[in-house]
């Protein structure tokens, strides 16, 4: 059968970009293998397709992170490799996709801490989008003759860490009712704590762009991990606190709520849960 090479007359009805966005990072932590260069550094955001929505509801795809990566690649074609996207840009991309697909209004539910009544209200995701700023990674930590520079995690690094934490948490939750012998439970608990320590160290290593010491410039991740395993407590704590400070600076501000029932005012965090953000 001859291949059909004629233009599709329905192409003019294909989805079109709904909005354009700029990345908070400006793509500073990515190269041309993960993000295309675009005019004015603006990225077209398309609505989700029906296939995107079906795929996103697949539990396994959500768990291993591929659902999020696939939706980003589908809706923002200039993102070549979503796994390498910086976590400093991730919230912006996901909020933009939701706006493009379902509009800027989003229902939000919160329980009042005073009267415990449930409050349902709407938020404007455009306002949330405007709040997101790029954290300052320019300020290094100086420790003696060493200067430590930082960078955001990639989506892959973050997802791998979150997946492992989830698995460890599920295992810990199942231990009390498990039929395994007590000695095995103790060993499983010990291993879980070891895993937490390893995950913490890996996340810190992934957040270090390079370490300068005299004429030496170290970017090798294994060398950085080995340093973190062997540095003193004060140096490690200094690095950890700096990373925590950077992370806090990029968090979306809490929503200020006035309870419709008792008029109590309170703040509640806006958490972007990828499991139900698009459903």
Per-domain boundaries in the chain? 15-134+253-268, 141-249
Q: pLDDT by residue (tens digit) across 91-109?
A: 999 999 999 999 999 998 8
Going by C-alpha positions, the residue among 40, 36, 41 that lies closest to residue 77 is 36
How far apart (Å, rounded) are the C-alpha atoms in residues 92 and 250? 11
* 98 and 123 Cβ atoms separated by less than 8 Å: no
Q: Encode pLDDT of 198-256 as tens digits.
A: 999 999 999 999 999 999 999 999 999 999 999 999 999 999 999 999 998 888 889 99
Say if CB 185 and CB 178 are below 8 A apart. Answer: yes
Instruction: Give the range among 88-92, 195-199, 272-276 with minimum mean pLDDT.
Output: 272-276
| The pLDDT value given to residue 59 | 65
Q: Work out the angle between the directed axes of helices 87-102 and 66-75 (0-180°, nearest 10).
A: 60
């Amino acid at each position: 059968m001859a291949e059909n090479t004629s233009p599709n007359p329905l192409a003019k009805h294909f989805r079109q970009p709904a909005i354009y966005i700029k990345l908070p990072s400006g793509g500073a932590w990515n190269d041309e293998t993960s993000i295309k260069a675009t005019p004015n550094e603006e990225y077209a955001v398309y609505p989700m397709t029906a296939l995107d929505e079906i795929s996103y509801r697949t539990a396994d795809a959500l768990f291993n992170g591929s659902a999020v990566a696939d939706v980003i690649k589908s809706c923002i074609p200039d993102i070549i490799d979503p796994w390498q996207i910086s976590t400093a840009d991730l919230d912006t991309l996901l909020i933009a996709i939701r706006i493009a697909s379902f509009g800027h209004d989003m229902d939000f539910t919160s329980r009042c801490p005073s009267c415990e009544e449930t409050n349902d209200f709407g938020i404007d995701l455009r306002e949330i989008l405007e709040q997101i700023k790029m954290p300052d990674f320019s300020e290094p930590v100086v420790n003696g003759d060493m200067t430590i520079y930082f960078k955001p995690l990639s989506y892959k690094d973050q997802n791998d860490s979150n997946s492992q934490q989830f698995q460890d948490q599920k295992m810990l939750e199942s231990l009390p009712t498990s039929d395994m012998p007590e000695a095995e439970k103790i060993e499983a608990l010990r291993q879980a704590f070891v895993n937490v320590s390893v995950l913490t160290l890996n996340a810190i290593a992934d957040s270090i762009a390079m370490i300068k010491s005299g004429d030496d410039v170290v970017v090798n991740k294994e060398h950085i991990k080995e340093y973190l395993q062997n540095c003193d407590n004060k140096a490690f704590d200094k690095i950890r606190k700096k990373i925590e400070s950077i992370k806090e600076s990029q968090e979306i501000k809490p929503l200020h709520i006035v309870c419709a029932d008792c008029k109590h005012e309170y703040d509640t965090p806006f958490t972007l849960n990828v499991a139900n953000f698009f459903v």
